[in-house]
Amino acid sequence: MILYTIKKGSPLKSAIILSILSSILLMGEEISSPYTPPEPNTRIAPHSLYAGGGFSHYLADDDTHDITANALTEIVGYQLNRYFGVEGRFSATLGKVTFDDGVTKKDRKKYISNKSLYLKGTYPVYGVQVYGLLGYGETVTSKMSESGLQWGAGVNYTLGENYHIYADYTRMYDDAGFKNDNFSLDNLSLGVLYSF
């Protein structure tokens, strides 16, 4: 019936009918094979080396004082596969360390550093890479040092092909090793990584 109409009708009517039929066919193709956008790059690529660093803020407690200090953190890591990597870190204080006993605050020329090696587990969630850290490290102060289990968690956001912004929290020490006091050291860090 449609072919008869095209054959017998005017050229304008035939063109309109052919246009409608073409639109219906194209619409059917779009419905049957919808476009799937590529998955965004939200992770450091497997089998890649990465390095970087950032600014950190130490939060420590020795039973008698709340201790705070600014620090720098350096990171070198290797992504083993999609979900696991290994990461080495070193951080050290910048300038003075503040001691607060609840009554007075004093800035002292003290030094706190930490070096550690972590197993890093990662997983992409809502456009960012969420990760956990578990490893072993050494915390050093002006007078002594102690080693122990360390852990942390953070997020990583990929800016482009090779650049990544990270923000994380790590518990660097939590034991009674320093002068037999209960001493804890936490680190909040924000920085940039570059993957090779």
Looking at domain 48-195, which CATH architecture does it have?
Beta Barrel (2.40)
Say if residues 150 and 135 touch (Cβ distance below 8 Å): yes
Give me the tens of pLDDT residue by residue for the chain, a chain 196 residues long: 444 444 455 555 555 555 555 555 455 444 444 544 444 455 688 889 999 999 999 999 887 889 999 999 999 999 999 899 999 999 999 989 999 988 888 998 888 999 999 999 999 988 899 999 999 999 998 878 889 999 999 999 998 888 999 999 999 988 766 665 678 899 999 999 999 9
Q: Please state, in angstroms and rounded to a whole number, the distance separating the CA atoms of residues 174 and 182.
A: 7
Q: What is the pTM of this model?
A: 0.74
- Collapsing DSSP to helix, strand or coil, 31 comes out as helix
Domain segments of the chain as ranges: 2-32, 48-195
Report d(CA 3, CA 166) in Å as an integer: 65
β-strand partners of 116:
89, 137
